[in-house]
């Protein structure tokens, strides 16, 4: 009996040492076929029909140009994109050639070995020179380019014109005024949140930190160090968390809210102000407050300045495992061309990533003006590190804000803890 | 043999992954897989949050087990005391709760206690009190849901056990003037011991592994992660942030804890001279 137990133990050790867990050989393919079927995954939007029409017209031209090629497009649900794309990386045989992906995922996907390096193709692309710098940064990892920007999204301040008029308030011009105006509204109309904020709304909170000169992390290329506990960043955290309380947005409700929750509250007429994106426009239009609101850039510290905003959005990228690299790159450029991005804006309202195209569309559509102005002022991006996915999924920043607003920790302690967690993540990805 | 294989292989894989550095980059071949030994475990044990979550899980599971057993046994005794119609009604209600999928049950409970629209606040006149904001009130809410969906198993099993107890024994105790509590304490509980052991171990395993209720009702772990339990924590590590090896290490730790609890429990019983 004793012997057999020992044998099993020995066998187990041997087995452990002998074989590692399964991995897939996701090396870049050396094939580059010029005909055949190209598979494309794009995100399924809430109202997807107009997007399909824009894409279809690009595809028609593409198929005409390249004889013997066929393109199949699959629209994948946004909620399950992470699993789908991971699965594609794990099984190169059934993976698509070209994908749309969220721009905060770039560094993670590059580390996973999923995206092809298209630096040379991007450089040779005539239209690339007009790509705005933040959008370019969102496809760049370690000095190399892994895709093309497809559209950008940015947030600004939505406010209720009727409430402001009734209470005789001016639109806030500084961050200080923003906070005091929010509290004034709450005092006069206790059924409303002054400014709807959320403890889990990272991208709504970041402008407060950036406006004070703080940063999430500092560094370049592979190595980052957390800067969320710097003096400037802590001032921003202080400012944002001061909005949680019975005098604006009660912590018991707002601590758990996400960005979507704040927009839902605003659209339902429960908040006098909210920080929403150009992509939130449709949701607000569909709500009770239609026709009774306006949008301005989120104010910075000084009167007339704009708080730096997070430049979200999506990119297109070619998978490393593709067997049709040349064709896939060509299709990627066509889908993200100036013309196609202009059409996509008209169809879906997604802001183009080319500065010149963006100015043209802003001249036509009044509602995008504050967003374009925000993009023109200053935008920031999350650290281009694969650790970001880990920090994001680990809820490091929401936890920090929630610890402060629920009174579990003070700003200094919560920021120090968050910085430690971020540094651990930066360290673990090497 | 087949059963053994089906059981052993996943555990073998779990253990294997837990000693490597294994994230999405390794799975999809972006980086080579490296052997870490007990690196994942030492990272886990040196993480203060892990101990906090472990403590919360143990206390929460213990509270759930005790409440579930108390409610289940009390209702089982009640079942033997009432007439056919109320008994049927209680049985059906319990089976309904049992049959409800955990995710549906959680959503419904959450709605009942919703700060803005929930009937509970309206009935109690609590205004817009948020039940999920405080750590204990959030845990209490989840505990209620867990008890609600797991007491039927205890109730039905114990009820079946009581039915198997010879009627003369109970009658004799009643004739001796024993109270209801005394009958349970001195007659039923000892006779039902094997059944109680099984339902206790079952409950310990279930409540230690609770996932859906916490994930749904506290939005994936509550304000600042205050309501995290081990299973949700492992999910966060393994799947949300793709650190599969760390998640596997948490899984192994959970497996060992549950195995130890079960063994100690069985050992204690054996020492008291009871055979199962």
The ipTM, to two decimals, is 0.77
Q: If you average pLDDT over residues A396-422, what whole number do you get? A: 93
Q: If you average pLDDT over residues A285-304, what whole number do you get? A: 93
Report CA-CA distances (Å) from A156 to A198, A207, A275: 15, 10, 6
**In this complex, do A24 and B243 lie within 8 Å of one another by their Cβ atoms?**
no
pLDDT above 50: residue A1: no
Separation of alpha carbons A27 and A93, rounded Å: 12
> Reduced to 3 states, what is the DSSP secondary structure of residue A320?
coil
CB neighbours of residue A203 within 10 Å: 19
Report CA-CA distances (Å) from B206 to A358, B1, B60, B65, B254: 55, 26, 12, 9, 12
The minimum CA-CA distance between B25 and chain A, rounded to whole Å, is 4
Q: How confident is the model at residue A17 (pLDDT cuts 50, 70, 90)?
A: very low
CB contact, 8 Å: B46 with chain A?
A: no
Model confidence pLDDT, tens digit, residues A20-66: 677 766 566 677 888 889 999 999 887 788 899 999 999 999 999 99
**In this complex, do A390 and B241 lie within 8 Å of one another by their Cβ atoms?**
yes
Separation of alpha carbons B236 and B19, rounded Å: 19
Q: Report the mean per-residue pLDDT for chain A.
A: 88
pLDDT above 50: residue A226: yes
* Among A19, A108, A256, beta carbon nearest to B223: A256
Query: Which residues 92-131 on chain B approach chain A with CB closer than 8 angstroms?
Result: 115, 128-130
How many domains in chain B?
1
Contacts of B180 (CB under 8 A, 6+ apart): B77
**In this complex, do B225 and A395 lie within 8 Å of one another by their Cβ atoms?**
yes
Choosing among A112, A199, A320, A415, which should be mutated to test the B contact, i.e. which has the most B CBs within 10 A?
A112
Nearest CA in chain A to B137: A252
Note whether A207 and A310 are within 8 A (CB): yes
pLDDT above 80: residue A395: yes
Partners of A16 on chain B (C-beta within 8 Å) are 15-16, 19
Q: Which pTM value belongs to this model?
A: 0.83
Separation of alpha carbons B106 and B145, rounded Å: 7
Q: Tell me, what's the pLDDT at B272?
A: 65
* Among A22, A255, A394, beta carbon nearest to B223: A255
* Among B25, B132, B243, beta carbon nearest to A112: B25
CB contact, 8 Å: A257 with chain B?
A: no
Separation of alpha carbons A182 and A245, rounded Å: 11
The minimum CA-CA distance between A190 and chain B, rounded to whole Å, is 13
The minimum CA-CA distance between B16 and chain A, rounded to whole Å, is 6
- Top pLDDT among B258 and A5 is at B258
- Top pLDDT among B125 and A155 is at A155
Residues in chain A, overall count = 430
Partners of B13 on chain A (C-beta within 8 Å) are 21
**In this complex, do A406 and B133 lie within 8 Å of one another by their Cβ atoms?**
yes
Separation of alpha carbons A338 and A344, rounded Å: 10
Q: How confident is the model at residue A329 (pLDDT cuts 50, 70, 90)?
A: very high
* CATH superfamily of the A36-153+311-380 domain: Periplasmic binding protein-like II (3.40.190.10)
* Among B24, B132, B241, beta carbon nearest to A256: B132
* Among B20, B130, B221, beta carbon nearest to A21: B20
Hey, CA dihedral for A22, A28, A31, A32, is it positive or negative?
Answer: positive
**In this complex, do B133 and A251 lie within 8 Å of one another by their Cβ atoms?**
yes
The minimum CA-CA distance between B224 and chain A, rounded to whole Å, is 4
Separation of alpha carbons A22 and A350, rounded Å: 40
Q: In what order do the strands lie in the sheet with A98-102?
A: A69-77, A36-44, A98-102, A312-318, A148-153
**In this complex, do B28 and A390 lie within 8 Å of one another by their Cβ atoms?**
no
Q: Tell me, what's the pLDDT at B180?
A: 84
Q: How confident is the model at residue A10 (pLDDT cuts 50, 70, 90)?
A: very low
* Among A15, A21, A24, beta carbon nearest to B22: A21
The minimum CA-CA distance between A287 and chain B, rounded to whole Å, is 18
Q: Does residue B64 sit within a domain? A: yes
Q: Tell me, what's the pLDDT at B266?
A: 80
The minimum CA-CA distance between A197 and chain B, rounded to whole Å, is 15
Extents of the domains making up chain A: 36-153+311-380, 155-309+386-428
Report CA-CA distances (Å) from B220 to A27, A86, B102, B260: 36, 22, 15, 28
Strand partners, A28: none
Q: Which two tokens stand for residue B219?
A: 């939005």
Query: Which residues 214-233 on chain A approach chain B with CB closer than 8 angstroms?
Result: none
- Top pLDDT among A389 and B248 is at B248
Q: Does residue B75 sit within a domain? A: yes
Q: Tell me, what's the pLDDT at A25?
A: 61
* Among A19, A26, A399, beta carbon nearest to B225: A399
Q: Tell me, what's the pLDDT at A389?
A: 82
In order along its 276 residues, chain B shows pLDDT tens digits of 788 888 888 888 888 888 888 887 787 777 777 887 788 898 888 888 899 999 999 999 999 999 999 999 999 999 988 899 999 999 999 999 999 999 999 999 999 998 878 888 888 888 778 888 889 999 999 999 999 999 999 999 999 999 988 888 888 988 888 888 888 888 888 888 888 988 998 899 899 989 999 999 988 888 888 899 999 998 888 877 778 888 899 999 999 998 998 888 788 777 665 555
pLDDT above 50: residue A3: no
> Reduced to 3 states, what is the DSSP secondary structure of residue A308?
coil
**In this complex, do A26 and B28 lie within 8 Å of one another by their Cβ atoms?**
yes
**In this complex, do A86 and B27 lie within 8 Å of one another by their Cβ atoms?**
yes
The minimum CA-CA distance between B100 and chain A, rounded to whole Å, is 25
Residue whose entry in the numeric block shows the structure tokens 């549950």? B258
Nearest CA in chain A to B243: A390
Note whether A102 and B37 are within 8 A (CB): no
Strand ranges in A108-188 using DSSP code E only, listed in sequence order: 140-141, 144-145, 148-153, 155-160
CB contact, 8 Å: A199 with chain B?
A: yes
Write b or e for each residue in B1-35: b if 16 or more Cβ atoms lie within 10 A of its Cβ, otherwise e. eeeeeeeeeeeeeebbbbbbbbbbbbbbbbbebee
The minimum CA-CA distance between B271 and chain A, rounded to whole Å, is 24
CB contact, 8 Å: A241 with chain B?
A: no
Q: Does residue B121 sit within a domain? A: yes
Q: Does domain A155-309+386-428 have CATH number 3.40.50.300?
A: no
B231: domain range? Answer: 2-271
Q: Are strands A98-102 and A36-44 parallel, antiparallel or unpaired?
A: parallel
Going by C-alpha positions, the residue among B140, B163, B162, B151 that lies closest to residue B96 is B151
pLDDT above 60: residue A15: no
DSSP H/E element including A102: strand A98-102
CB contact, 8 Å: A11 with chain B?
A: no
Q: How confident is the model at residue A14 (pLDDT cuts 50, 70, 90)?
A: very low
Separation of alpha carbons A327 and A323, rounded Å: 9
> Reduced to 3 states, what is the DSSP secondary structure of residue B129?
coil
CB neighbours of residue B142 within 10 Å: 26
Separation of alpha carbons A103 and A230, rounded Å: 26
Q: Tell me, what's the pLDDT at B44?
A: 87
Q: Tell me, what's the pLDDT at A27?
A: 62
Strand partners, A99: A41, A317
Q: In what order do the strands lie in the sheet with A293-296?
A: A193-196, A271-277, A155-160, A293-296
CB contact, 8 Å: B8 with chain A?
A: no
| DSSP assignment letter at B196 | H
Q: Are strands A312-318 and A98-102 parallel, antiparallel or unpaired?
A: antiparallel
The minimum CA-CA distance between A10 and chain B, rounded to whole Å, is 14
The minimum CA-CA distance between A371 and chain B, rounded to whole Å, is 31
CB contact, 8 Å: B20 with chain A?
A: yes
Q: If you average pLDDT over residues A351-357, what whole number do you get? A: 92
Note whether B152 and B91 are within 8 A (CB): no
CB contact, 8 Å: B39 with chain A?
A: no
Q: Does residue B276 sit within a domain? A: no
Return the CATH number at B108: 1.10.3720.10
> Reduced to 3 states, what is the DSSP secondary structure of residue A230?
coil
Partners of A21 on chain B (C-beta within 8 Å) are 13, 16-17, 20, 22, 26, 33
Separation of alpha carbons B264 and B261, rounded Å: 5
CB contact, 8 Å: A402 with chain B?
A: yes
Within this chain, domains A36-153+311-380 and A155-309+386-428 share the same CATH topology:
yes
């Amino acid at each position: 009996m004793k012997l057999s137990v020992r044998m099993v133990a020995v066998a187990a050790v041997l087995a452990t040492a002998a074989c590692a867990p399964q991995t897939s050989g996701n090396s870049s393919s050396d094939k580059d076929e010029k005909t055949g079927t190209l598979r494309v995954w794009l995100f399924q939007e809430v109202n997807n029909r107009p997007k399909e029409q824009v894409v279809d017209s690009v595809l028609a031209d593409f198929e005409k140009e390249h004889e013997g090629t066929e393109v199949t497009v699959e629209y994948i649900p946004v909620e399950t994109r992470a699993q789908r794309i991971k699965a594609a990386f794990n099984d190169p045989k059934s993976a698509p050639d070209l994908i749309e992906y969220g721009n905060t995922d770039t560094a993670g996907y590059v580390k996973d070995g999923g995206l092809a390096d298209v630096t040379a193709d991007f450089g040779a692309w005539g239209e690339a020179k007009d790509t705005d710098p933040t959008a370019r940064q969102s496809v760049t990892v370690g000095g190399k380019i892994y895709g093309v920007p497809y559209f950008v999204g940015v947030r600004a301040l939505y406010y209720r014109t009727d409430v402001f008029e009734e209470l005789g308030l001016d639109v806030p011009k500084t961050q200080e005024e923003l906070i005091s105006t929010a509290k004034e509204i709450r005092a006069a109309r206790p059924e409303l949140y002054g400014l709807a904020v959320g403890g889990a709304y990272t991208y709504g909170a970041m402008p407060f930190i950036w406006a004070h000169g703080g940063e999430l992390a500092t560094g370049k290329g592979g190595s980052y160090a957390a800067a969320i506990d710097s003096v400037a960043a802590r001032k921003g955290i202080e400012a944002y968390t001061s909005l949680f309380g019975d005098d604006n947005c009660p912590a018991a409700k707002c601590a758990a809210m996400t960005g979507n929750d704040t927009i839902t509250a605003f659209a339902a007429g429960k908040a006098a102000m909210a920080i929403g994106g150009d992509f939130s426009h449709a949701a607000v239009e569909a709500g009770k407050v239609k026709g009774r609101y306006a949008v301005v850039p989120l104010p910075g510290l000084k009167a007339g300045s704009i708080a730096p905003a997070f430049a979200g959005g999506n990119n297109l990228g070619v998978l490393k495992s593709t067997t049709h690299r040349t064709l896939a790159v060509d299709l990627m450029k066509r889908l993200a061309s100036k013309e196609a991005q202009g059409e996509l804006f008209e169809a879906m309202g997604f802001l183009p990533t080319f500065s010149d195209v963006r100015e043209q569309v802003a001249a036509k559509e009044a509602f995008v003006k504050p967003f374009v102005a925000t993009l023109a002022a200053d935008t920031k991006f999350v650290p281009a590190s694969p650790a970001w996915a880990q920090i994001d999924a680990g809820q490091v920043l929401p936890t920090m804000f929630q610890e402060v607003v629920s009174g579990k920790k003070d700003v200094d302690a919560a920021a120090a803890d968050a910085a430690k967690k971020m540094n651990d993540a930066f360290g673990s990805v090497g | 043999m087949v059963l053994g294989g089906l059981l052993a292989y996943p555990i073998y894989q779990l253990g294997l992954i837990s000693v490597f550095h294994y994230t999405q980059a390794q799975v999809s071949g972006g980086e080579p897989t490296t052997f870490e030994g007990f690196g994942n475990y030492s990272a886990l044990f040196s993480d203060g949050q892990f101990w906090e979550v472990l403590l919360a899980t143990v206390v929460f599971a213990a509270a759930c087990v005790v409440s579930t057993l108390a409610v289940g046994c009390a209702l089982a005794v009640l079942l033997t005391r009432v007439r056919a119609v109320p008994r049927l009604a209680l049985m059906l209600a319990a089976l309904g709760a049992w049959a409800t999928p955990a995710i549906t049950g959680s959503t419904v409970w959450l709605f009942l206690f919703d700060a803005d629209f929930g009937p509970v606040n309206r009935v109690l006149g609590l205004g817009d009190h948020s039940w999920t904001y405080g750590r204990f009130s959030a845990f209490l809410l989840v505990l209620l849901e867990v008890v609600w969906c797991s007491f039927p198993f205890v109730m039905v099993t114990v009820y079946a056990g009581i039915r198997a107890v010879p009627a003369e024994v109970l009658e004799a105790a009643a004739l001796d003037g024993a109270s209801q509590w005394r009958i349970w304490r001195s007659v039923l509980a000892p006779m039902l011991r094997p059944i109680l052991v099984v339902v206790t171990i079952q409950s310990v395993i279930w409540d230690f592994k609770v996932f859906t209720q916490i994930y749904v009702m506290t939005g994936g772990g509550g304000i600042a992660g205050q309501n995290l339990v081990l299973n949700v924590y492992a999910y966060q590590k393994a799947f949300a942030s793709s650190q599969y090896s760390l998640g596997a290490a948490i899984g192994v730790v959970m497996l060992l804890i549950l195995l130890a609890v079960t063994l100690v429990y069985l050992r204690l019983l054996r020492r008291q001279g009871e055979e199962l």
